[in-house]
Structures are given as C-alpha cells and as structure tokens.
C-alpha cells in the first residue's frame, strides 16, 4: 500500500509530466501543435453551426470539395460544410473567401482580379462550370456544391493542374508570324474585326475544356479553347497565306477539329459567351474548301 499522501502524489505527477514535456522530440511538438489547430478549427465550425441555427435565414450553405495529398487526414476526398453569412450581391468567390478567412485558413482555391476577366477562379458549381467571381449566390439553390473543374488533376481542394491546358493553347501557335508581316501599317476592315471579335474574348479559364466529353476521353484533342484561338488568327485577314496554311494543318490533324461532335457543351458554359462550337464548324468548312481540287 502506498504511504504517499495525495498532495505528494499530485506534485510528483506534475513533475513527471513536466519532465516528459521537456523530453518531447521536435516531431512530437509539431504533432501537438497540429492537434491543437485541428481542435480549434473544429471548435470554430461548431460555433458557426450554432450561429447558423440561430439565424438560418441570413446564411448560405456551402458544400466544398476538399483534398490535400500532403496531409494524411485529407488524402481521402470529402466535402466540408460551411455556413456563410449572406449579403446582397455576394458571389461564390466572396463566400469562399469568407469561409477561408473565418473558418478554415487551409481552404485553397485560385482567384485574382475578381472582375471576370482573368479566368483563374473557374469552378464546378452545382453541376456546371462557372466563374466564382461572376456567379451570384442568390441565383443558386442550396446547398451550393463547389468542386474543382472536372477532367483535370486536382492539386489541392479546388485547385487543378492547368499545365496540359496551357500546352494545348500554345500548340496552335497563337500569334502572328513576324516573318510574314509586311512593311508599313496593316489595316483590318471593320467587317473582319466583327467576324473575329468574339474569339478574342477568351480568358483561358478552361471551363469549355472541362465540359467537353471528347477532351475527357482524348488527352491529345486540342480542345475548344485552343481551336478558338486558332480561329482568331486563321480568320484574321492580316494572317499571311503560308502561315494560315500551316495553322490549318494544325487544326486539321487527327485530334483537331474533326474530333468535335458538336455537343455545344463548350458554348453553353463559356463565361464570355463565345460561340465556340460555331467557330469549330467554320474551321471545318474552311478545311474542306482548302482540300477541294478542281481539275
């Protein structure tokens, strides 16, 4: 039987815990801090849930896709719930920024100008490709389900790998060839400017590429955005004849315009209202005309 009084036992226990704390390795200390952060995050979410119940009419329910390959607890994809105080004019991007700033600082997504011209915040919202900064929360049904763009590798949470998309865009050589630029001023007629005007509005958001079923199954397909970029130069009357022929050979390849099945999905989701499918069809017609021989 122990002869120590309770006070002595308590003092010794505290001394042992203090000694153990001093003996912790750096890794154990990091793990302890990580647990504390997780507990704090859980507490904040619980407090927000309570506020939501008290004032449900003034909040919007978001279900946000989460994935982080560098954190063991987040390597399994899931959806987190956030209840964001609603204000008139609030966009999906505003709501995500509020959730990140107030509830979970690890929530990751791309954004830049917030004026629907940079294309960086393209997301999959309630089953459709949209720009977060352009989409009003009030136009959406709850819960607002926010996911990364489909058919692209997810880097973290709502961020996808855009490297392949950029490669396809550059593959059509989206620039004039300076070797064919004549001396003096190059004029463009108003009619030709109107013809290609819509194609110049592309903001490289990749929403169209993400919506395309052909691109999802054919990794070599140029895709609607790249073909639209080729259209912008091929149909410009200032393009040299030799350069245009080279550009048409690019879009006529096996994985070019002929892979398009005219589903209009790209046109439907384009945030800049570019008639992408029409441009692809016009390039098809141009290719046919150039390959016709009369003799």
**Per-position b or e across 206-241, b if 16+ CB within 10 A of its CB:** bbbbbbbebbeeeeebbbbbbbbbbbbbbbbeebee
| pLDDT one digit per residue (tens) for the chain, 295 residues | 344 444 444 455 555 555 554 567 877 777 778 777 877 777 777 666 656 554 556 899 999 999 999 988 889 999 999 999 999 999 999 999 999 999 999 999 999 999 999 999 999 999 999 999 999 999 999 999 999 999 999 999 999 999 999 999 999 999 887 666 667 778 899 999 999 999 999 999 999 999 999 999 999 999 999 999 999 999 999 888 888 899 999 999 999 999 999 999 999 999 999 999 999 999 999 999 887 765 5
Nearest to 170 by CA among 131, 96, 209, 225: 225
Two structure tokens written together for 14? 């505290």
Give, in degrees to the nearest 5, the angle at Cα 191 between 273 and 268: 15
- For residues 230 and 174, the answer to whether their CB atoms sit within 8 Å is yes
Residue 245's contacts (CB-CB under 8 Å, 6 or more residues apart) are 290
Beta strands in 67-161 (DSSP E): 78-85, 122-125, 128-131, 144-147, 154-156, 159-160
Distance CA 99, CA 105 (A): 8
- The Cα diameter of the chain in Å comes to 116
Cis-peptide into 143, omega within 30 deg: yes
Full set of structural domains in the chain with CATH: 40-160 (3.10.20.30), 163-175+190-291 (1.10.1060.10)
What's the angle, vertex CA 131, arms to CA 127 and CA 135, rounded to 5? 80
Task: Tell the residue number behind the tokens 């136009």, with chain if given.
Answer: 139
3-state helix vs strand vs coil in the chain, percent to 5: 50, 10, 40
């Amino acid at each position: 039987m122990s002869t120590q009084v309770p006070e002595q036992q308590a003092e010794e226990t505290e001394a042992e815990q203090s000694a153990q704390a001093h003996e912790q390795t750096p890794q154990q200390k990091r793990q302890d801090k990580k647990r504390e952060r997780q507990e704090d995050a859980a507490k904040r979410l619980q407090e927000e849930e309570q506020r939501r119940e008290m004032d449900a009419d003034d909040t919007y329910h978001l279900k946000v896709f989460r994935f982080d390959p560098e954190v063991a607890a987040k390597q399994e994809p899931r959806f987190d719930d956030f209840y964001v105080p609603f204000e008139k004019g609030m966009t999906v991007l505003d709501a995500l920024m509020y959730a990140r700033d107030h509830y979970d600082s690890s929530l990751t997504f791309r954004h830049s100008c917030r004026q629907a011209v940079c294309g960086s915040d393209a997301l999959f919202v309630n089953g459709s490709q949209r720009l977060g900064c352009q989409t009003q929360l009030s136009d959406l049904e709850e819960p607002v389900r926010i996911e990364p763009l489909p058919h692209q590798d997810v880097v973290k949470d709502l961020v996808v790998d855009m490297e392949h998309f950029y490669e396809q865009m550059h593959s059509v050589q989206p620039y004039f060839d300076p070797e064919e630029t004549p001396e003096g001023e190059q004029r463009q007629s108003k009619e030709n400017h109107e013809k290609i005007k819509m194609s110049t509005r592309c903001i490289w958001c990749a929403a169209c590429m993400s919506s395309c079923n052909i691109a999802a199954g054919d990794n070599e397909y140029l895709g609607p955005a790249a073909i639209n970029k080729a259209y912008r130069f091929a149909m410009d009357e200032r393009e040299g004849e030799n350069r245009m022929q080279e550009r048409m050979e690019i879009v006529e390849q096996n994985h070019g315009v002929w892979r398009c099945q005219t589903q209009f999905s790209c046109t439907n989701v384009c945030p800049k209202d570019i008639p992408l499918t029409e441009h692809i069809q016009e390039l098809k017609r141009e290719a046919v005309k150039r390959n016709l021989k009369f003799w």
